[in-house]
Structure 1
Amino acid sequence: MLRYLYLMGAILSFSCSDPSKLVGSNPDQAEESNAPKAVQRTSNEEPEPDTIVSEPVSIAGAFLSCQRSEGSESAAMACQIDEAGIQAGFGAGRVEMLNLYSLADDRAFADHPFTFPNENSLEFELPAINTMWRIELVYPGGQMLRDWEVSRDASVNNLLEDGDFEAISVADNATDVSFRIYVANGEGSAWTATLQEDNNCPDMIPVFELNTSNPTTGEAAKFGQQFLDLDGGCFTDPSIEAGNVGIEQDLELTAGSLYLLDFWYNARNNPAKSMGMEVKVNGDTLWQEATITYQADWRRGKLIFKAQVDRVKVEFLEIGVSDRAGTALDGIRVIAIPAG
């Protein structure tokens, strides 16, 4: 049974080096007169995937995707349109108005100025550096797309624990090499490690592989000092290449409320290995990338969802070949989005 409502049609991946290069799609459908409207369901109806409930976040399957540039000195935001991962331009005259709402201090900035640096991106400066924004892109006729963006300010409450994988110290526990440790079942972290179907470790112990900067490969954490690898060796014999795992964490949320789930990911710097990842909430797949290749910059995944129950399980699962090199994860957050 579906126990949450997936509001974004596709999770969005960003390169952290260039916030203007966001996943986008064709907004042509946004002006169609038969574009679907927000639908209010009664409490005894089960919501369907990708159905919009009481939130004008999409028009004809198109979704707005915005990301604030990194760095405390910058307050720039870049947005694009996404529809099933297909990128296309805004086009002249497509956008009638840009409205911003600072949810941190309840301020509205109607008809905020914006620019089109190229046909695939809309950019604007934030009027103040605040922690949480709602962005509304208004089309002729009053239809709108909506997105939310939350900074990594320390004052923003991450509902996940140990999202940066720093709770267990690699430096204090390293044995075979100085930059990696294996932790059985994820013990000592808020996360629980789980075996994937193709994990063939004889000991059947899911391994929580933590890494710090690797001087040989040049890999480093996105945040803090450590990151997680979803495919380590076997716990009792790390030389066995069979260790695909998942990680999961249960959260106490509020049914009916909106949440932002985002994370940073990359492949390990080993082109001979196979890496891919799946993200689930309460057993339902939100996003999957079958083949992830290494890049110098970490990529960001961003998702907005509405909780349908008060207890939610968040999972990240390795789906590449079980070959002792898995998807690297860091900076996972679940943030409550204020109403309004």
Structure 2
Amino acid sequence: MIPSLLTQFSTPRRCFPLMAFAMALPTSTLAEFRALDDSSLSTVTGQAGVTIELETRLTMDSLTWTDEGSLSVNGLRLSGQNDTVLDNMKLTLDIAGDGEVLEHGFSEIARRANAGLLDPSDPDVAEALATYSVNGEFGKQFDSGDLVIHLGAIDYGDPTSLNDYLQAVDFELAVDSIVTSGTEGSATLFSDMLLQGYVGPTDLVIRNQGGNTRTLANGNVVSGSELQLDTHFEITNGSLNWDAADLILLFNFAAVGIEGLQIHNRRGDDTLGHFGMAHATAKLSRGTSAASAVEGLSVHDVEFRADIDMPIFRIGGTSIGSVQFTDFAITDTTMMVYGH
């Protein structure tokens, strides 16, 4: 590269502007210029990531998917609680070096516990210390070229308070209705949806595995380069009308109304390390189905763990009392998504 650039200025006519520029510089400035050989250039790399402080409010009148019929999400809004601005969010983006330890999950809790700001005898705190302590650093170790995006808070409040940490980012999600339409008319699946709660540490990682592949337990072959999602959250208050829809293709909750919905993880046997928050993970990549040999989007290693409280559960407008799920878990779930 350098010889070719010098060649461009080899004639007196082309060299004159460069010489004039150099002569105009102070002698002290010229003294700071140093030639870099290929070996020196190879060590010049960017070592810092990017931090984005974010606040937003999202509204959408209608989102429609049209096939032979259509499916519409109407009146969607994502904001802070009570329709305020969704704020106090901080995104950190890093491209990992080989073996680099970067922020992930509850690593901030581990860092505070190590500094003596949180009680390490608390079982959740102790689990965070064990999980996120890596060779004197706090986070998760990644491979060269992995893109790591971590969502946390700008201001966590009192560094000795777990509640301040867990409630640093509040949100509200509202949807007026979800409607399916066709030649026979339309049907409302859900209506008057409102979810309020808190967003815990959330991570998006794009693993850089080149062209490597791996085979899942069901025989599907998926790319080793995949998007990995890991999030913690809590719903403190939710309501919806479940007009006509299936839950996980098993339970039809038509004509059901729910009020006071809470989704958390404070009961049962799988609370350790989640600080009372629900937890969801999934991986997405290109894949090929073992059953049909069709290529599509593979959604695999899906896991969801939570406790679910529905203090007001109405069927046909009449309350039948309260419903609770403890240690509700979705595991060993794989999907292959493709067009037909």
Taking structure 2 as the reference length, the TM-score comes to 0.22
Name the structure with the higher strand share.
Answer: 2
Larger Rg: 2
Taking structure 1 as the reference length, the TM-score comes to 0.22
Name the structure with the higher helix share.
Answer: 2
